[in-house]
Amino acid sequence: MLLRTDDLTLRTSKTEKFLEITKDVPVMCATQPKDILDNIDDVDSVIPLVKKYKNATIVQHGYDHINRAKGDEKKSEFPSFINSLEFLPEIIKGKKILEDIFKKQFYPVFVPPWNRFGHDYQILFEIGFVRCEDDEGVLDMQPKRGWIDSDYFWRKIQTDNTIHSLMFHHEWMTDEQFKFLEQLIESGVISWKSISESS
């Protein structure tokens, strides 16, 4: 099972807590390159913190996480009406930012914001990504910024063999939810894999 958190961009008390709780298992951190670059010299830059946790793998979470969908369409940084030639240079730039900063902690996986990419993933493979992670096979632990029903969680874990990843947003987590994650890891009932092992 893959343990994933999205929007890891700043050093906050919740970022620190999440990384400390997960320090003994592989964790995939989906990160927006533009935010990393914009905050690179700030005191709350997450870079030094992440580098302390060698179990944490950084993957690319879009480029700037800005919604460009029209009107009532579902949110997407890369909706289908935008020509891929317009955004591919930013994705390539973002990949280089993360490679240069995080070195071996970066792994070339692309996670589209809101788990939506209005184009063929093949164009991302052609620029060096080895995998794309959306919501297929992902169990959202915080639907609508709430928390997953406990009975539903255990039923899915025990009976649904299509689930390969648990998705968190650490900045939305409460103390009770952090405790759940800590106890889940300590229980040993789930065998955790890194994103490189899962690819």
* Domain range annotation of the chain: 2-198
Virtual CA dihedral for 47, 52, 31, 194, nearest 10 degrees?
160
Q: What is the pLDDT of residue 175?
A: 97
The tokens describing 197, both together, are: 């092992």
Q: What is the pLDDT of residue 199?
A: 74
Q: What is the pLDDT of residue 43?
A: 86
**Helix (H) or strand (E) run with residue 175 in it:** helix 175-187
DSSP letters, 47-89, are HHHHHH-TTEEEEE--SS------TTSPP-SS-TTS-HHHHHH
Task: Look at the pTM and tell me if it is higher than 0.85.
Answer: yes
10-residue averages of pLDDT along the chain (199 residues): 97 98 98 96 94 98 96 95 96 98 98 97 98 95 94 95 96 97 96 91
| Fold observed for domain 2-198 | TIM Barrel (3.20.20)
Which residues, 6 or more positions from 106, have their beta carbon under 8 angstroms from its beta carbon?
57, 58, 59, 98, 99
Note the pLDDT tens digit of each residue in 49-83.
999 999 999 999 999 999 999 989 999 999 999 99
